[in-house]
Structure 1
Amino acid sequence: MSEHIGPRPPSGDRAVDEILADFDTAMGQGPAGQVAAAASAHRALQQRLTAPTPPPPGPGEARPGPRA
């Protein structure tokens, strides 16, 4: 299994970024903690996918769009 190295790039969705940051932090725990963190992140991300559209990101937080 590959290991994520360096900071994770922002997703453009603050809630998703917070979920993934918590998950990354939990990867320093033992196997039981990692499994619990993965299950928790999975549930939270599923809830986020079914939640209403978030407000647009604030200044300086937006990701660039595709180039024309």
Structure 2
Amino acid sequence: MHISELQKATERGEFSMRFVAADGEVVRIPRCVCTSYHSKGRTMNVKSCESGEIRKVVRITIIEINDEEVYL
């Protein structure tokens, strides 16, 4: 999926994702929901359904949504 389709793919409720953290580690969140999407910014906040942790993710670091590769 192209990164421009990211908001549409994540607004439908629960999804899984993988992204590259600032330290280079690939992080996988198996079940999460988007709590906010900053369309003029470059981030989105996601909440893990398992732990309740909320993470701010830079959108261009997302490499996979629901087992589908995300590209620029």
TM-score, normalised to structure 1's length? 0.25
Give the structure-2-normalised TM-score.
Answer: 0.24
User: Over alpha carbons, which structure has the higher Rg?
Assistant: 1
Higher helix share: 1
